[in-house]
Structure 1
Amino acid sequence: MSGPADDEGSPPPAGYVPAEGRGGFSTLNGPYFHRPGEGELAEQAFFARRRHANGLGLVHGGMLSAFMDGVLAGAVFRGTGKTGVTIHLSIDFLHMARVGEWVMGEARLTRATRDVAFAEGRAYVGGHDVVRCSGIFKLMSRER
């Protein structure tokens, strides 16, 4: 079964570029895009394809969880300059995302200690939030 949601999708939103170097799991689930910048807000996106969906054509909760885990980790890196490994992830599913939509994610670091960082974020489609989430990350010694 093929169709528009199986091809390369629509062009990424303005200002977003392909994300690279994310590892095998994320590469397989992507492609992901991010908005480069210097601010505290980490912004990423993906175009929802059939492979991201459940049998109802809705983006699978596991896909949204994996995506937001990466968005939160991006906020941790942006705010601390260190890679963070997830030690806790909390997600509230608020609305549906469908195949053929751009799912946008944004997150910011809320607090960091020497060894642990905290981040909060959301994924949204159009004018509605799809998920809200928070995470706790163990900071690794590998720096920028």
Structure 2
Amino acid sequence: MTAPFDPAAAGWETVDMSEFMDLIGPVWQRADAAGLLHGLVVEGKHRNRNGVVHGGVMATLLDMALGRVAAEAQGGRRQATISLDLQFLAPVETGEFLVAEGRVVRATRSILFMQGTLRVEDRVCAVGQGVWKILGT
């Protein structure tokens, strides 16, 4: 059996989040050439009745990650999710490190159109698209 993935040893840092995200996390963050990445070590508390990560956990991680990428893209201004559409492609098992990456596809003065991917190593587990409203515009 291989040792569990250690995000800290791989250059990831924990991120202070909301109390809600603390229930799911800790959430990890790292910047690389693809941009800002967020990760989660999958634990037993994340499983559904089938023994794999609950889709709600995956949706929550992607929503949070895309929101943080959206905020960074527009100078840290607050924003809110208008919509998030997610397609689940592969199960995620306990002990795996689930990574969310996102990017801005198009931006207007008040709206950001986003795309994101959830992966475990090279395995794409979910993809999503969303729309974020920049608050105060």
Report the TM-score when normalising by structure 2: 0.88
Q: 1:75 aligns with which of 69, 78, 92?
A: 69
CA-CA distance at 1:31 after TM superposition: 0.8
CA-CA distance at 1:40 after TM superposition: 6.7
Name the SS of the counterpart of 2:64 in structure 1: helix
Moved over 3 A (4+): none
Q: What's the RMSD between the two structures over aligned residues?
A: 1.9
Q: Which amino acid aligns with 2:128?
A: C
- Provide the aligned length of Structure 1 versus Structure 2: 132
Question: What does residue 127 of structure 1 align with?
Answer: 122
CA contact (8 A) 2:34 2:101 kept: no
- Does residue 23 of the first structure (1) align with residue 18 of the second (2)? yes
Q: Deviations over 1:105-139 (max 9, x none)?
A: 11111111111111111001122100000110111
Q: Deviations over 1:34-68 (max 9, x none)?
A: 0146x672200000001111122200000000000
Question: What does residue 57 of structure 1 align with?
Answer: 51
Report the TM-score when normalising by structure 1: 0.84
CA contact (8 A) 1:117 1:137 kept: yes
CA-CA distance at 1:87 after TM superposition: 0.6
Q: Which amino acid aligns with 1:17?
A: E
Name the SS of the counterpart of 1:35 in structure 2: strand
Alignment of 1:3-14 (within 5 A): 10-12=5-7, 14=10
Question: What does residue 103 of structure 2 align with?
Answer: 108
Q: Deviations over 1:65-111 (max 9, x none)?
A: 00000111111012112222101001000001011100011111111
Q: 2:39 aligns with which of 40, 45, 60?
A: 45
